[in-house]
Amino acid sequence: QGKVTDMESDVEHFLRIKQRLNKILAENTGKTPEQVKLDSERDHWMTADEAQAYGLVDKVIYKR
């Protein structure tokens, strides 16, 4: 029983952290928290240019 209770507590904690992170990302990217949640539900890989277009990075530095 203790392990299941611990796991439930860990999952709830993780979900709260994920919700907080989605809110922070939404505030900084101009997306809605719902859109950020959808875009981060599964592995979602972006190139540097895609991350910039999404609003995750300010500038992409290219090697000369």
Determine the structural domain holding residue 10 and report its residue range.
Answer: 2-54
Q: Is residue 61 part of a domain?
A: no
Query: Would 62 be classed as within a structural domain?
Result: no
The reported pTM is 0.77
Nearby residues of 18 by Cβ (< 8 Å), 6 or more positions away: none
Q: Enumerate the H helices of the chain as residue ranges.
A: 2-29, 33-39, 48-54
Residue 38 belongs to a domain = yes
Give the total number of structural domains in the chain.
1
63: in domain: no
Give the C-alpha separation, 7 to 25, whole Å.
26
* pLDDT tens profile 13-53: 999 999 999 999 999 999 999 999 999 988 889 999 999 99
Cα-based distances in Å from 19 to 27, 45, 49, 50: 12, 20, 25, 23
Does 6 map to a domain? yes
**Which region, left, alpha or beta, applies to residue 17 given φ > 0 means left and ψ of -120 to 50 means alpha?**
alpha
